[in-house]
Structure 1
Amino acid sequence: MKVAVTGKGGVGKTTIAGALAYILHKRGFKVLAVDADPNANLAYTLGLRADEAERITPISENWDLIEEKTGVRPDSYGMLFRLNFTVDDIVRRYAVKTPCGVDLLVMGVVREALGGCMCPANYLIRMLLRHLIIRRREAVILDMEAGTEHLARGTAKHVGAMIVVAEPSIKAIETVRRIRNLASQMGIEKILLVGNKVLNEKDEYLIRGFSERNRIPILGIVHYDPAIREADLSGHSPILYCPSSRAMREIEAINDRLIKIIKD
């Protein structure tokens, strides 16, 4: 099972991604959570303290690793670098065990310069993501960069499913439409919508109506839950702070439907 979670910034995609990874682990799956968002917060969602999270060096910033694999330092623009190298040891060496029981790998993002030139760090990340999605045997949950830019880079091209998270707002659901169009062009077949932070029937009607009009299957609805906000404000992981909250129960139901859809 390889699943990418994306959506407009601020819609709660990291909470959804972390909760899905935790629930899969609880169900007996071996799970790797991958933070591919430059605004990396998945570590906190999975229960790491701030000081522990800050000690993690993203793969994109690990210059020694990049030089080891490609033969050149990341700032060596214009130099030739190795294209053939192994990446199957990186998870073992750099993944962090979280309090939720899930292994976490923080990727980071390399911004392409000069019209999309390929630098060593970018190439390593692409090779690693491809390996994680195609070769790794465990469940992989990817918390993607907000918006659509990551789709242009093709980093989630081979996932089994893409979950697009939206809150009940016009901007959020328009982002869903753009993500769906780009993901479809990439060949991703299972594109699924999750409505998050839903307050009332009007909010739910907006999400479900958009789903029906645009033929984007809706995986589930997660209602606004004060317990999640309380966890966030107090600096706690919502997964560990309120594991039996309404939102977490709804994400469990979403997880069950996701497993069935991917198996089908």
Structure 2
Amino acid sequence: MNLASSLGIAEPPRPLTEYKEMIDERAGEVGGMFKYNPKVDDIVDKFGVIGPDGVRMLVMGTVERGGSGCMCPASAFLRALLRHVVLKDSSALIMDMEAGIEHLGRGTTRGIDLMIIVVEPGMRSIETAGRIKELAGGIGVKNLAAVVNKGTSADVKPKLAELGIPVLGEIPFSPDLMNADFEGKSPIDAGSESIASFVEIKEKMLEMIANFSKDEEN
């Protein structure tokens, strides 16, 4: 819900689930039926908000309140959109999912090249990482890596190695990042010493993805 400010976007896009008339028009049918393959190939251009670095952001949306009824047309619409941008669109796509494992049960992340797990220094977080790997394998996601947040990887890395999850890098606790969060600034714009960690993580991630492509070619 606060990803926009992290990207330096002052006015975040409206969640797609708020465009109820458009979703009903494309995914709904009379009598409570819904379409599995609604038109979605124009959604990114129409509803995405462009950030300062040229990154286009979309917010999927979710159930707004308890007892609000079936989200069948909206779910079909969002699933079709994600399938399109993951499997058909040629752009690089980063999906920031809700914390937890629910999206794995729904199969939302099916077809991605690399799943990055944010792990904090503690056994509960490591156990969750293990559960994520298990569920990810169930939907065909083979490549996983971890980023250690608010700590060092010295104690965490061996535990993740036992699970077969490599570590891309670590983001140490930083008052600069905390202040940037309070001020609604992007961490990159906060002048934090952690920027070097971000760059290292990005480079390792790109290297890992490039190696996946080489393995597929071979």
On whether the aligned pair clears a TM of 0.5, the verdict is yes
Corresponding residue of 2:196 = 249
* 1:94/1:105 contact within 8 Å kept: yes
Corresponding residue of 1:13 = none
Find the residue that maps to 1:100 and give its secondary structure: coil
Q: What's the CA shift for 1:140?
A: 0.4
Corresponding residue of 1:208 = 157
* 1:110/1:122 contact within 8 Å kept: no
Aligned alpha-carbon RMSD (Å): 2.1
What CA deviation, in whole Å up to 9, does each residue of 1:128-161 have, x standing for no partner?
Answer: 0111100111110100111000100000010000
* 2:44/2:58 contact within 8 Å kept: yes
Q: Which amino acid aligns with 2:176?
A: A
* Structure 1, unpaired ranges of 5+: 1-39
Corresponding residue of 2:207 = 260
* 1:110/1:121 contact within 8 Å kept: no
Q: Structure 2: how far apart are the matches of 1:229 and 1:118?
A: 36
* Structure 2, unpaired ranges of 5+: 212-218
Find the residue that maps to 2:150 and give its secondary structure: strand
Number of paired residues? Answer: 208
Matched, 1:155 2:108: yes
1:94 to 39, 43, 47: 47
Find the residue that maps to 1:192 and give its secondary structure: strand
Matches within 5 A, 1:65-84: 65-72=22-29, 79-84=32-37
Matches within 5 A, 1:35-74: 40-49=1-10, 52-53=11-12, 56-72=13-29
Higher share of residues assigned strand: 1
Structure 1 runs (4+) deviating above 3 angstroms are none
Q: Structure 1: how far apart are the matches of 2:23 and 2:160?
A: 42
Q: What's the CA shift for 1:84?
A: 3.4
What CA deviation, in whole Å up to 9, does each residue of 1:46-78 have, x standing for no partner?
Answer: 1123xx23xx32112210220221245xxx8x6
What CA deviation, in whole Å up to 9, does each residue of 1:172-209 have, x standing for no partner?
Answer: 222111111111121111111111111xxxx4222112
Q: Structure 1: how far apart are the matches of 2:38 and 2:128?
A: 36
Find the residue that maps to 2:46 and give its secondary structure: helix
TM-score, length-scaled by structure 2? 0.88
